[in-house]
Amino acid sequence: MKKRMALCTAIPEKQLEEIGRYCDIAVCGELKHGKGRAEEKTTREECMGCELVVLGDETAQADTIHAWARSGMKFLGVAKGTPVTVSFEALREEGLSLSYTPGRNAVAVAEFTIGMMISIARSLSLSSAGLWRGEHLGEPVGDIYQVPDVKNVIWGPLDEKHPFTDYGIGFELYGKVLGIAGYGAIGRQVAQRAAAFGMEVLAYDPYCPAQEMEKNGVACAGLEEMLGRSDIVSIHLPVLPATRGIVDRTWFEKMKPSAYLVNTARAAVIHQRDLVEALERGRIRGAALDVFWQEPLPANHPLLKMRNVLPTPHMAGLTTDVDGWSGRIMAGEILAYLRGEPRKHLWKLE
């Protein structure tokens, strides 16, 4: 007799066919209703009575977990790199494990992080937005396709009206020092790509052995050394009681005044007021931020008025490829459970 499985996130067709040999699959949650369109109550009702429940971005707090466990749930999977959308306490109380998908968007976030670094180094977003706003443009011409015969086409004399004067001429990543706070799946991917740009990479992670970093060509550094030497500090920390607000004034005081902060992790690890003050007072040169303390970002947030801040709307971890990576990892967890084999990706609930 087949087991019942509630599926709320995409699984590649090949693996889904194999899972279907063991399970009757009910499509539920956001996979059924669309992204952001499945409230917890709806998901709870749809997944009742299933031995396996596989979530994506759906929320499952304590009441939901207990209800599912009472109705026969024995496997819970959350297709996220950090499955904070479910109640760990309730899972512990029910004696259940939690499968998740670490590294599913590591490449996506790492590439985005490198893109942010290039953008702040060369003022790409600032200068591009300036042209869209009409800054530093010439007078309208009658025929844009009739151009003068000039060998050396340039923007004009380097004076107070020149874009370089306004936006700055930037710097190269080559030869600069990148500090990585948190040498996990994403931090490692960022380090690998930064090394390809010729950057020296320092990593601070008290929970990662030095030899693990050094075998990848990354120097293990203490917090003060990493902050004090880095031209760019990239944050890759999870939100835990020990990390909430950890990136605060004490960090900014140790950084170079010419240094930039990049955060594609979670805003909660940064002390909001301390960051705003550090940027306002020139304690650090600038920041590139993909995540915020409230999302959408409030329209009156002071960061939006700062030319030394590159904000993006929480885009780093989502590409057309991420669901595929996530689905493959989760499919492996599901099949391991169905075959009675050890699962590889279990979240530490303690």
Do 191 and 211 sit in the same domain of this protein? yes
Q: What pLDDT is attached to residue 82? A: 86
- Catalytic residue status for 295: yes
- Given 104, 236, 266, 285, the catalytic residue: 266
Do 164 and 301 sit in the same domain of this protein? yes
Question: 177-181 and 200-204 as β-strands: parallel, antiparallel, unpaired?
Answer: parallel
CA dihedral (48, 40, 239, 270) in degrees, to 10, reads 170
- Given 66, 314, 328, 343, the catalytic residue: 314
| 8 A C-beta contact, residue 342 and residue 336 | yes
DSSP letter assigned to residue 341: P
Do 258 and 331 sit in the same domain of this protein? no
CA distances from 174 to 198, 199, 227, 266 (A): 5, 5, 19, 27
Q: Residue 184 sits in a domain of what CATH number? A: 3.40.50.720
Do 49 and 176 sit in the same domain of this protein? no
Do 69 and 127 sit in the same domain of this protein? no
Query: How many CA atoms, within 13 angstroms, populate the side-chain half-sphere of residue 116?
Result: 32
- Catalytic residue status for 188: no
Domain holding 241, by residue range, is: 106-133+160-311
For residue 217, with 0-12 CB atoms within 10 Å meaning exposed, 13-18 middle and 19 or more buried, which class applies? Answer: exposed
Residue whose token pair is 């595929």? 324
In the chain, how many domains are there? Answer: 2
Query: How many CA atoms, within 13 angstroms, populate the side-chain half-sphere of residue 45?
Result: 4
- Catalytic residue status for 301: no
Q: What pLDDT is attached to residue 161? A: 86
Largest CA distance in the chain: 79
Q: In this structure, what token pair is assigned to residue 236? A: 């890759």
> Which residues of the chain are under the pLDDT cut of 50?
none
Is position 197 within any domain?
A: yes
d(CA 246, CA 237): 10
d(CA 220, CA 229): 13
Is position 229 within any domain?
A: yes
d(CA 46, CA 27): 9
Is position 142 within any domain?
A: no
Q: What pLDDT is attached to residue 234? A: 98
Do 305 and 174 sit in the same domain of this protein? yes
Do 96 and 121 sit in the same domain of this protein? no
DSSP letter assigned to residue 271: -
Do 126 and 83 sit in the same domain of this protein? no
Query: 145-193 pLDDT, tens per residue?
Result: 999 899 999 998 888 889 999 999 999 999 999 999 999 999 999 999 9
Do 124 and 95 sit in the same domain of this protein? no
- Given 89, 295, 307, 341, the catalytic residue: 295
Do 89 and 222 sit in the same domain of this protein? no
